[in-house]
Chain A
Amino acid sequence: MHDKLNRMKEQYESTPIPDELSSIVNKTIATRRRKNRALPWIASVAAACALLFAGVNASPAFAKAMSDVPVLGEIVKVMTIREYAEQDDNTAVHIETPGITNLGNTELEQTLNNKYLEENKKLYENFKDEVAQLNQEGGGHLSLDSGYEVVTDNEQLLTLLRYVVESAGGSAESRQYDTIDKINHLVITLPSLFKDDSYIQVISDNIKEQMRQQMHDNPDNIYWVEQPGVEPEIPEDLFQTIDKDQNFYISPSGKLVISFNEYDVAPGYMGVVEFTIPTEVIQDLLVSNEYIR
């Protein structure tokens, strides 16, 4: 090969490789693997719950009429029913499992509480597997922090947020919301709020608009979204539409908020991203304004 090219190649190859590269790579792979593995059970548990409540869910008005239980909304409580913490030199795990009481419907309460217990048990087991695997590969730092927060608690709705933060070099956060109608005793799913499936496209389009606007307003914001005049870098990676059962919650003021986990629609430094959907955008598609105003 040409001398000049050879010299350039030598120079290029002399770019120093930082010591931390391989540990960062290994940890990122470890985080990602656990995440990919964790997805199927989250999906199946969500699907099971959706099935269980679809019947009542289909008609909130009917459910309300049939409900003979006095309104207990105000005294519903969320508390920690199981807390688990463990720490050594390289790993740390802290998991807080919520439990709902006084919901007024024992069956629903138990289903949810069992789901939380079950999911956190899996979370812990997966973490242990990952630690074992990492130790086999030469060890490394891993930590996992999972807990919950009550986002909305008014006369009608209780929204419980459960979060998982995994750290391995960098960290990745994922959130899971459950929105419960305390009066009618049902879990609200995203499809149940709308007349038909057209909400998927309408909400996705609105989110894309918001993404572009945010990127325009502040160059530090980056979303993986199509932009007019910019040729897509990795077209298959761009945000297309929300999932039918996309993570969501209803804010205390009755607005629909769509939530994306870290790395789902934006680079890691953007963290978990959430979009409030203006009610007028989805007004015509809503079954009623009972929850969303």
Chain B
Amino acid sequence: MRGGRKLEKLLIQCITENQDSAYRLAYSYVRNKEDALDIVQDAIHKAFLSVEKLKQTGSLKSWFFRIIVTTSLDLIRKQKKVQVMDDENLEFILPGSHDHYPNLDLAQSLDDLPDKYRIIIILRFFEDMKIDEIAEVLHENVSTVKTRLYQGLQRLRVNLSEEDQEEAQR
């Protein structure tokens, strides 16, 4: 039949092996079980749909993670749109509430870090992916990923030794 049979097998293996990582990744965006499970499920459907269109340029894992990331972002964007309305209503209902400016430069924990930095820290240090693999997941170029990695660490007040920094840039 199709030449995709072997690729399909590899994909199934990749999804099965990385399901916990994929779930944690999704969870780090949406922070609730139901949405994270939905994302994993949707991402698997998407992966099977487009596996035949996949050109073998990189690793299957990077590609699958990328689908998880984009599916998460889709969901967040959808929820954000709803939230904007809420804020407007709140302001209308609660006049005179003071604006609160958190210190944007300082993040106490990973959860405080904006998505674009957090994902890189997660993939680099917790999922042990290389910089060029992360660039593949995020569809960014390698230097952008390196810059954000560095900025993310700064915001977390993580000062790596020179040796560790070199290690991290790989």
Q: Is the interface of A mostly helix, strand, loop or mixed?
A: helix
Q: Is A140 an interface residue (CB 8 A)?
A: no
Q: Is A86 an interface residue (CB 8 A)?
A: no
Query: How near does chain A come to B15, taking the closest CB pair, in angstroms?
Result: 6
Chain B residues closer than 8 Å to A18, beta-carbon distance: 23, 33, 37
**Which residue, B28, B45, B122, B157, has most C-beta atoms of chain A within 10 A?**
B45
Q: How many residues of B contact A (CB 8 A)?
A: 49
1/0 contact trace for B108-127 toward A, CB 8 Å? Answer: 01100000000001100110
Q: A9-B125, A12-B24, A222-B74 are in contact. Are A234 and B158 (CB under 8 A)?
A: no
1/0 contact trace for B63-92 toward A, CB 8 Å? Answer: 000110111011000100110000000000
B80 nearest CB neighbor, chain A only: A219
Q: Are B8 and A36 in contact (CB under 8 A)?
A: yes
Task: Report how many A-B pairs have Cβ atoms within 8 Å.
Answer: 115
Chain A residues closer than 8 Å to B23, beta-carbon distance: 15, 17-18, 21
In the assembled complex, the Cα of A25 lies from the Cα of B160 at a distance in Å of 38
Q: Are A25 and B24 in contact (CB under 8 A)?
A: no
Query: How near does chain A come to B88, taking the closest CB pair, in angstroms?
Result: 14
B70 nearest CB neighbor, chain A only: A233
Q: Is B156 an interface residue (CB 8 A)?
A: yes
Q: Are A40 and B44 in contact (CB under 8 A)?
A: no
Chain A residues closer than 8 Å to B49, beta-carbon distance: 237, 263-264
1/0 contact trace for A175-196 toward B, CB 8 Å? Answer: 0000000000000000000000
State the B residues within 8 Å of A (CB).
Answer: 1-2, 4, 8, 12, 15-16, 19-20, 23-24, 27-28, 33, 37-38, 40-42, 44-46, 48-50, 53-54, 66-67, 69-71, 73-74, 78, 81-82, 109-110, 121-122, 125-126, 156-160, 164
State the A residues within 8 Å of B (CB).
Answer: 1-2, 4-5, 8-9, 11-13, 15, 17-18, 20-22, 24-26, 28-29, 32-33, 35-36, 40, 169-170, 172, 219-220, 222, 233-234, 236-237, 263-264, 267-269
The 9 tightest CB contacts between A and B, nearest first, are: A233-B70, A219-B81, A32-B48, A28-B44, A263-B45, A15-B24, A25-B19, A9-B126, A12-B126
